[in-house]
Chain A
Amino acid sequence: MSLLELSGVSKRFGALTAVANVTLGVEEGAIFGIIGPNGAGKSTLFNLLTAIYRFDEGCIAIDGTSLAGMTTQEIARLGVARTFQNLRLLGNASALANVMVGEHLLLRANILDALLNTTRERRERAEAEQRARELLRFVGIAGIDEQFARNLSYGTQRRLEIARALAARPRLLLLDEPAAGLNPSEKRDLVALIRSIRDGGATVLLIEHDMGLVMNLCERIAVLDYGEKIAEGTPNEIREHPRVIEAYLGAPA
C-alpha cells in the first residue's frame, strides 16, 4: 500500500475545477515530483492534502487513514509536514525558535508545566533546543540560531522552513517549489539535502518548476494540466510523453 493515496480527488472553486479527478499513489520512501504549467492545480492539491481546502470529491488517505473531515492540525499529527511556496516563517522569531515551533508535536509539556516551569518543561525545552540546533546544521545553516527569520537571506529562509518542517519528524514531507528563487549552486545543495532527507526515512512529495532539478531528483513524476493528471511515470517516460510535450510546448500545428 502506498503511503499517500489519492483517488478521484476533485476541487472546484465556483465554475473553475482546480483539481479534476486526480488519482495517484506515492510509495513510502519515494521522492515524487508534481509538475505542470502555472495554474495547473499543483498548489491547490497540496492545500487539499493539509486541509487548507476541503476536497469536493474523491478520497485522500495517508497510510490507509482517510483525511476526509480532518483539520490541518490533525493531519500534522499523522506525520505530514510542509513548506510553502511563499514562505511562511515566523518573521519576528529567531531561527531556533522557528524550528522549535516545528517540534511542537514531539513535546508533551502541558499548561501546568508551562505555568510552573516544571522539570518536564525545562528538560523538553533543552532537548528541543538541542535538536533544533542539529537540524539547522543538517540543512546547512548552522550559526544563525539567534537571528530573526525575517533578516535572513532568501536561500537561508528556504532552508529554515525545511528545517522547521523536518522538526516534526514527518513521514511525508511536502515541498512547494523548494528551488524557487535559488541560484544554481544553492539548487545543487538542495538536491543533496532532499536526498539525505529521504535517506533519513521521510517520503518527499514536491512541486517544482525547474525541470532539470525535477528530472534529476525525482524517481516518479506526475504532470498536472488544468487540474487533470495527464501523465505519470519515471523522468524518462515523462520527458517523452506526447501530452506533456503538448502541455508545455503547445499542440503541434
Chain B
Amino acid sequence: MIYAYAFVAIAACVAIERFHNRRAKIAIALALAAFLAIAPRFYGNEAVFSILADAAVYVMLALGLNIVVGFAGLLDLGYAAFFAIGAYTYGMLASPQFGLHLPFWVLLFLAAALAALFGALLGAPTLRLHGDYLAIVTLGFGEIVPQIFQNLTKYTGGPNGIAALDIPSFFGHSFGASVMPYYYIALLGIVAALWISRNLRESRLGRAWMAIREDELAAKHAGINVLRSKLAAFAIGASFSGIGGVLFAAKLALVSPDLFGFQVSVLIVSMLVLGGMGNIVGVVVGSLLLTIVNSALLPQINSLVDTTFHTTIDLSNIHFLIYGAILVGIMLFRPEGLLPNRERRDEFHHNGEAEAEA
C-alpha cells in the first residue's frame, strides 16, 4: 500500500516535470494534494501513514538543504545539526525536562527561528571557504552538535536524550497516539516549503545565489553581497529543518543524540543527488524514494528473505550495503539524478558527448 502512495506521488511529480503547460502543472499538483489529503479516509492504516509522515519530514529537510547546496552551491555535510536543533528545541521546551510545556505550534516557529540563527552562526566561519574545505568544516559542525547534546547531560538528558515529550494538541484536541495529525502537518509543511523554494529560486536573492554558485568573482563584480547571500542561504535552509525537527520529535515523543548523526546528513545529501540537485520537484522525488526504500522496502526484503529461506538473518546489518548499491547504480546510470533540471541534464549530457568525441 505504501508503494501505491509513493508511486502516485512520484508519478505525479514526474508528470509535473514533463508537462510544459503551467496550468497542467498546477492541476496535477492540486490533484495530488487532494489525493494525499483524502487518502486516509479510505485507507486508515496508521503504520503506512507513519512512514509517509516521516517521508514528508524528510522531503522538508531535503528541500531545505536544496537551498544551501542546490541553489547557493554550498556543499553542507552537517545539515542534520539543524534537524537536531529543531528536535531538541521541542524536546527541551515541551517536556518534563525543565517543566516547560510551551505549545507545539509556537515551538514550530521558534525552532525555525533558532535553526535559522544557528544556520547563520555556523555558516559565518565558513563563508570564505569553498568546495572541499567547506564540506569538511560543515562535516565537523554536523559532528559537534550531536556531541554537545550528548554531553550537556544536565540539560539534554545526555546519551539517553529526553523522553515523554508533550503530545501536541490542536485547539484543545490532543493528537493522542495517532500519527495522522503529523502526516497532515508535514504535508502542509511541504506545500509551504515548495512555495518558498519556488519563490526564492525566481527572486533577486535566488539569482544572486545562482551567480555565486556559477562564478563567485563575477557575482562580486555585479555588486552582489556574497557573504550576506550565503548567510541567507544557510539560515533559510536551516529553518526548514528546524520545523522538520519539531515534527519529528513530537511524533516520536523522544529525542536522543544518536538520531541526528552523520548518516542523517549523508542521507539528505543522497536524496538531493538522487533526485536531481537544484530541481525542486526532483528533490521531492529523491527524498520520497530514499525514505520508502529505507523504512519500507529494506525491512520487507529482510522478512521476505527470512520466510523464503526459513532463516533468521538480520539484514539490517547489511542495510547500508544494499542502500549503497542502489546509490552507486543510480550514479553510474543516471549521474544527473532522476529528475534533473535543465542545467544539470545538459551539463552531464555535454560531458558525455565530449568523452565520446575524445
Contact = CB atoms under 8 A, between A and B. Distances in A.
Contacts of A104: 204, 207-208, 211, 222-224
B223 A114 contact: no
A111 B196 CA distance: 11
A221 B52 CA distance: 69
Contacts of A128: 204
A77 interface: yes
Interface in A40-81: 50, 52, 71-73, 76-77, 81
A253 interface: no
Given A73-B226, A81-B221, A88-B217, A114 B206 contact: yes
A114 to B, nearest CB: 4
Nearest to B239: A115
A97 B218 CA distance: 13
A116 B199 contact: yes
Interface stretch (A5-13, A117-125, A199-207): A117-125
B204 A107 contact: yes
B202 interface: yes
A101 B210 contact: yes
Given A90-B210, A114-B205, A73 B343 contact: no
Given A88-B215, A114-B199, A100 B207 contact: yes
A135 B224 CA distance: 20
A71 B222 CA distance: 12
Contact of B221 (A82, A111, A121, A125): A82
Contacts of A116: 199
Contacts of B204: 104, 107, 109, 113-114, 121, 124-125, 128
Contacts of A71: 220
B221 to A, nearest CB: 6
B218 A88 contact: yes
Given A92-B347, A148-B346, A101 B222 contact: yes
A164 interface: yes
A105 interface: yes
Nearest to B220: A72
Contacts of A168: 222-223
A93 interface: yes
A91 to B, nearest CB: 6
Contact of B215 (A90, A97, A111, A148): A90
A165 B109 CA distance: 41
B263 interface: no
B207 A92 contact: no
B224 to A, nearest CB: 5
B353 to A, nearest CB: 12
The secondary structure that dominates the A interface is: helix
Contact of B223 (A76, A93, A115): A76
Nearest to A116: B199
Contact of A93 (B210, B225, B344): B210
Contacts of A117: 199, 202-203
A73 B224 contact: yes
Given A73-B223, A77-B223, A111-B232, A101 B211 contact: yes
B200 interface: yes
B314 interface: no
A102 interface: yes
Contacts of B346: 92, 148, 151
Interface in B156-213: 196, 199-200, 202-208, 210-211
Nearest to A122: B202
A104 B223 CA distance: 7
B222 A113 contact: no
Contacts of B219: 101
A218 interface: no
A92 B344 CA distance: 8
A125 B211 CA distance: 16
Interface in B288-313: none
A214 interface: no
A77 to B, nearest CB: 6
B223 A89 contact: no
A50 B223 contact: no
A84 B203 CA distance: 26
Interface string B331-358: 0000000000011101100000000000
Interface of B: 196, 199-200, 202-208, 210-211, 214-215, 217-226, 232, 236, 342-344, 346-347
- Please provide the 8 A-B residue pairs with the shortest distance between their CB atoms, ordered closest to farther: A76-B223, A114-B203, A90-B214, A117-B199, A105-B223, A114-B205, A72-B220, A92-B343
14 contacts: A76-B223, A81-B221, A81-B222, A89-B218, A90-B210, A90-B214, A93-B343, A101-B218, A104-B222, A107-B204, A114-B203, A114-B206, A115-B196, A124-B204
Given A90-B218, A101-B210, 13 more contacts: A73-B220, A76-B220, A101-B208, A101-B222, A102-B222, A104-B222, A109-B203, A111-B205, A113-B204, A115-B236, A116-B199, A124-B204, A148-B343
